A and B are shown apart, each in its own frame.
Chain A
Amino acid sequence: MIAEYLVKEAIIPDLRSGDKAGVVREMVEALSKAGSVRDVDGTTEWLLEREKLGSTGIGQNIAVPHAKREDVKKLLVTVGLSARGIDFDALDGDPVNIVFLVLAPSDATGLHLKVLARIARLLKDKVFRNSLRSCKSAQDVFSTIKEEDERAV
Chain B
Amino acid sequence: MDIEIFILWASALIFISVLTSKLSDRFSLPALLLFLLVGILAGSEGLGGIYFDDPGLAKTIGVFALIFIIYYGGLDTPWKSVKPLLAPGLILATFGVLITAVTVGLFAVLILKFSLLEGLLLGSIVSSTDAAAVFSVLRSRRISLKGSLKSLLELESGSNDPMAVFLTIGVIGLLAGQNASGVQLLPLFVLNMGVGLLAGYLMARLGIFMINRVKLEYDGLYQVLIAALILLTYSVANFSRGNGFLAVYVLGLMMSRSAFIHKRQSVRFYEGVAWLMQIAMFLTLGLLVFPSQIKPIIGPGLLISAMLIFLGRPISVFLCLLPFRFQFKEKVLISWVGLRGAVPVILATFPLLAGVAQAHTIFNIVFFVVLTSVLVQGTSIPVVSKRLGLDIPFDRKKRYPLELDETEGIEASLNDLIVPYNSAAVGQPIASIDLPPQALIVLISRAEHFIIPTGSTVIEAGDVLLVLGKDSDFSQVQATLSKLREPEEKSS
Cα–Cα, bound, A25→B414 (Å): 25
Which residues in window 54-86 of A have CB below 8 A to B?
54-60, 62, 64, 66, 70-71, 73
A91 pairs with B423, CB closer than 8 A: yes
Q: Which of B67-75, B122-130, B460-468 contacts A (4 or more CB under 8 A)?
A: B460-468
User: B492's closest neighbor in chain A, by CB?
Assistant: A126
Query: A127 contacts the other chain (Cβ, under 8 Å)?
Result: no
Given the contacts A70-B147, A91-B482, A113 and B416 also touching, CB distance less than 8 Å: yes
A110 pairs with B400, CB closer than 8 A: yes
Category for how many chain B residues contact A: 35 or more
Among A66, A73, A90, A116, the one with the most B-chain Cβ atoms within 10 Å of its Cβ is A116
Cα–Cα, bound, A71→B325 (Å): 14
How many of chain A's residues have a CB under 8 angstroms from any CB in B? 34
- B81, B148, B463, B492: the one within 8 Å of A120 (CB): B463
B447 pairs with A117, CB closer than 8 A: yes
Cα–Cα, bound, A54→B463 (Å): 16
B464 pairs with A53, CB closer than 8 A: no
Cα–Cα, bound, A54→B399 (Å): 28
Query: B474 contacts the other chain (Cβ, under 8 Å)?
Result: yes
Chain B 457-478 near chain A by CB (<8 Å), digits 1 or 0? 0000111101000010011001
Query: B484 contacts the other chain (Cβ, under 8 Å)?
Result: yes
- A54, A57, A90, A113: the one within 8 Å of B402 (CB): A113
Residues of the A chain whose Cβ atoms lie less than 8 Å from the Cβ of B387? none
User: B448's closest neighbor in chain A, by CB?
Assistant: A114
Query: A92 contacts the other chain (Cβ, under 8 Å)?
Result: yes
Q: How close is B143's CB to chain A, nearest CB, in angstroms?
A: 15
User: A93's closest neighbor in chain B, by CB?
Assistant: B484
Cα–Cα, bound, A59→B426 (Å): 13
Q: How close is B437's CB to chain A, nearest CB, in angstroms?
A: 18
- A110, A112, A120: the one within 8 Å of B462 (CB): A120
B418 pairs with A116, CB closer than 8 A: yes
Residues of the B chain whose Cβ atoms lie less than 8 Å from the Cβ of A123? 462
B464 pairs with A120, CB closer than 8 A: yes
Query: B443 contacts the other chain (Cβ, under 8 Å)?
Result: yes
Query: A147 contacts the other chain (Cβ, under 8 Å)?
Result: no
B147 pairs with A54, CB closer than 8 A: no
Residues of the B chain whose Cβ atoms lie less than 8 Å from the Cβ of A71? 146-148
Cα–Cα, bound, A24→B403 (Å): 26
Among B400, B419, B466, the one with the most A-chain Cβ atoms within 10 Å of its Cβ is B400
A64 pairs with B461, CB closer than 8 A: no
User: A114's closest neighbor in chain B, by CB?
Assistant: B445
Cα–Cα, bound, A23→B402 (Å): 30
Chain A 114-125 near chain B by CB (<8 Å), digits 1 or 0? 101100110110
Chain A 78-105 near chain B by CB (<8 Å), digits 1 or 0? 0000000000001110000000000000
Chain B 398-442 near chain A by CB (<8 Å), digits 1 or 0? 111011000000000011111111110000000000000000000
Query: B213 contacts the other chain (Cβ, under 8 Å)?
Result: no
Query: A109 contacts the other chain (Cβ, under 8 Å)?
Result: yes
Count of chain A to chain B residue pairs whose CB atoms are closer than 8 Å in the complex: 99
B418 pairs with A120, CB closer than 8 A: yes
Query: B479 contacts the other chain (Cβ, under 8 Å)?
Result: yes
Query: B264 contacts the other chain (Cβ, under 8 Å)?
Result: no
Cα–Cα, bound, A42→B450 (Å): 31
Query: B483 contacts the other chain (Cβ, under 8 Å)?
Result: yes
Q: How close is A114's CB to chain B, nearest CB, in angstroms?
A: 6
B148 pairs with A54, CB closer than 8 A: no
Query: B446 contacts the other chain (Cβ, under 8 Å)?
Result: yes
Cα–Cα, bound, A64→B478 (Å): 14
Residues of the A chain whose Cβ atoms lie less than 8 Å from the Cβ of B416? 66, 112-113, 116
Residues of the B chain whose Cβ atoms lie less than 8 Å from the Cβ of A73? 146
Given the contacts A70-B147, A91-B484, A109 and B414 also touching, CB distance less than 8 Å: yes
Query: B56 contacts the other chain (Cβ, under 8 Å)?
Result: no
A54 pairs with B479, CB closer than 8 A: yes
B464 pairs with A54, CB closer than 8 A: no
Which residues in window 216-265 of B have CB below 8 A to A?
none
Which residues in window 98-153 of A have CB below 8 A to B?
107-110, 112-114, 116-117, 120-121, 123-124, 126
Cα–Cα, bound, A116→B422 (Å): 17
B462 pairs with A117, CB closer than 8 A: yes
User: B483's closest neighbor in chain A, by CB?
Assistant: A91
User: B465's closest neighbor in chain A, by CB?
Assistant: A113
Given the contacts A59-B422, A71-B147, A109 and B400 also touching, CB distance less than 8 Å: yes
A53 pairs with B475, CB closer than 8 A: yes
Cα–Cα, bound, A107→B403 (Å): 8
Residues of the B chain whose Cβ atoms lie less than 8 Å from the Cβ of A50? 415
User: A68's closest neighbor in chain B, by CB?
Assistant: B416
Residues of the A chain whose Cβ atoms lie less than 8 Å from the Cβ of B479? 54
Which residues in window 306-345 of B have CB below 8 A to A?
none
Query: B84 contacts the other chain (Cβ, under 8 Å)?
Result: yes
A58 pairs with B418, CB closer than 8 A: yes
17 example contacts (A-B, Cβ-Cβ < 8 A) are as follows A53-B478, A54-B475, A54-B482, A57-B420, A58-B419, A58-B462, A66-B416, A71-B147, A108-B400, A109-B400, A113-B466, A116-B445, A117-B446, A117-B447, A120-B461, A120-B462, A124-B461
State the A residues within 8 Å of B (CB).
38, 42, 50, 53-60, 62, 64, 66, 70-71, 73, 90-92, 107-110, 112-114, 116-117, 120-121, 123-124, 126
List 3 tightest A-B contacts by C-beta distance, closest first.
A54-B478, A120-B462, A113-B445
